[in-house]
Amino acid sequence: MLKGRHLIDPMDFSVQELEEIFKLAEQIISNPKDFSHLCDGKILATLFYEPSTRTRLSFESAMLKLGGKVLGFYEPNSSSVAKGESVADTIRTISCYADIAVIRHPKEGAPKVASMYSDIPVINAGDGGHQHPTQTLTDLLTIRILKGRLFNLTIGICGDLKFGRTVHSLLKAMSRYENNKFILISPEELKIPDYIKKEVLRKGNIDFIENEKLEEVIDSLDILYMTRVQRERFFNEEDYIRLKDSYILDAEKMKKAPKDMIVLHPLPRVNEIAYEVDSDPRACYFKQAKYGMFVRMALILKLLGVDEHVND
């Protein structure tokens, strides 16, 4: 039962609960009109303590497509927060006005605190470099739809694997499904942290290999998940120049990729996927953004418990 629950950490929901959300999202995609009034009279509050246009618009669009309304702030200087109001007091007040809240905050754990003081469901829309669970839901729904399954997959994750929170969440989430294999592609400086290797991969007996060069492994992938490699993350310029091209996906590298591989990216991209790749049918990152809205629609319906008459 997801009604009344919060979503703070991508692992808050069981595999079965995620399945419920994904099935509902697929129903919405098939028959969006059937869902366009389920949230009539409901209000979503968007509490954005730091700007994130993409995530906010995705949530707002999700609620509007369900017939609900949206209120909130998207920069704290224009709100009571500027007067020094605590997260706890803000959420208690907002709980009086809205039925469900989405919160993005630069401090790690702020959405958790909000959920402790809230009478309405709270969704974490990103807390610093910590968690961004609806991105993980987006990634999983996209894989499920485009590959038809969440198991038996070889998933290449390329770029900044050290600091990228979406990468860590994706690894944890996909490790819960059977027989997935990971190929982790990054420069030495940006390798996956040891604690993720130990706590997630080795503990779960998950098959993984690490490689510095995308072109050496791209031919074995079902999914290529690209992330940005930031110049400032490198210790020296020499390494950056030596390796940077390896982390830019272009048409040349795509020639070596399997015909049914899909390319995903949490967006926004900077230069890690060349624009020439966009026209390749395997480039699925904009579809992924659309699925992100659908999965947020399903999540809102489940947490509000207004999907109950929808058939399984």
Binding-site residues for carbamoyl phosphate, in ranges, read 54-55, 104, 132, 135, 267-268
- C-beta of residue 102 within 8 angstroms of C-beta of residue 133: no
Positions at the binding site for L-aspartate? 83, 165, 228
Exactly one of 6, 105, 172, 296 binds another protein (CB under 8 A); which one?
105
Does 200 help bind another protein (rule: CB under 8 A)? Answer: no
Exactly one of 43, 94, 98, 110 binds another protein (CB under 8 A); which one?
110
Size of the site for another protein (CB under 8 A): 16
Does 93 help bind another protein (rule: CB under 8 A)? Answer: no
Tokens encoding 206: 């998950």
Exactly one of 7, 38, 62, 87 binds another protein (CB under 8 A); which one?
87
Does 108 help bind another protein (rule: CB under 8 A)? Answer: yes
CB of 43 to another protein, least distance (A): 25
Distance separating alpha carbons of residues 89 and 118, to the nearest angstrom: 9
Distance separating alpha carbons of residues 11 and 18, to the nearest angstrom: 10
Distance separating alpha carbons of residues 80 and 223, to the nearest angstrom: 44
Does 149 help bind another protein (rule: CB under 8 A)? Answer: no
Exactly one of 86, 93, 152, 179 binds another protein (CB under 8 A); which one?
86
CB of 106 to another protein, least distance (A): 8
Distance separating alpha carbons of residues 151 and 134, to the nearest angstrom: 20
Does 132 help bind another protein (rule: CB under 8 A)? Answer: no
**The residue to which tokens 């999914």 are assigned:** 223
Exactly one of 112, 147, 172, 228 binds another protein (CB under 8 A); which one?
112
Element (DSSP H or E) covering residue 195: helix 194-196
Distance separating alpha carbons of residues 115 and 124, to the nearest angstrom: 9
Exactly one of 3, 107, 202, 231 binds another protein (CB under 8 A); which one?
107
Nearer to another protein, 87 or 283 (CB): 87
* Full DSSP string of 243-265: HGGGGSB-HHHHHTS-TT-EEE-
Exactly one of 15, 71, 82, 88 binds another protein (CB under 8 A); which one?
88
Tokens encoding 279: 């026209």
Q: Would you call 295 helix, strand, or coil by DSSP?
A: helix
211-260-291-228 Cα dihedral, nearest 10 degrees: 30
Is the backbone peptide bond immediately before 106 cis, with ω within 30 degrees of 0?
no
Site string for another protein, 49-78 (x = CB under 8 A): ------------------------------
- C-beta of residue 295 within 8 angstroms of C-beta of residue 13: no
Does 128 help bind another protein (rule: CB under 8 A)? Answer: yes
Piece in contact with another protein (CB under 8 A), picked from 10-18, 50-58, 105-113, 147-155: 105-113
Exactly one of 113, 143, 217, 263 binds another protein (CB under 8 A); which one?
113
Q: Which of residues 159-198 bind another protein (CB under 8 A)?
A: 195
- C-beta of residue 35 within 8 angstroms of C-beta of residue 28: yes
- C-beta of residue 192 within 8 angstroms of C-beta of residue 162: yes
Nearer to another protein, 117 or 240 (CB): 117
Picking from 189, 251, 184, the residue whose alpha carbon sits closest to that of residue 214 is 184
Piece in contact with another protein (CB under 8 A), picked from 11-19, 85-93, 139-147, 186-194: 85-93
Distance separating alpha carbons of residues 186 and 214, to the nearest angstrom: 8
Q: Which residues would be at the binding site for another protein (CB under 8 A)?
A: 86-88, 105-110, 112-113, 127-130, 195
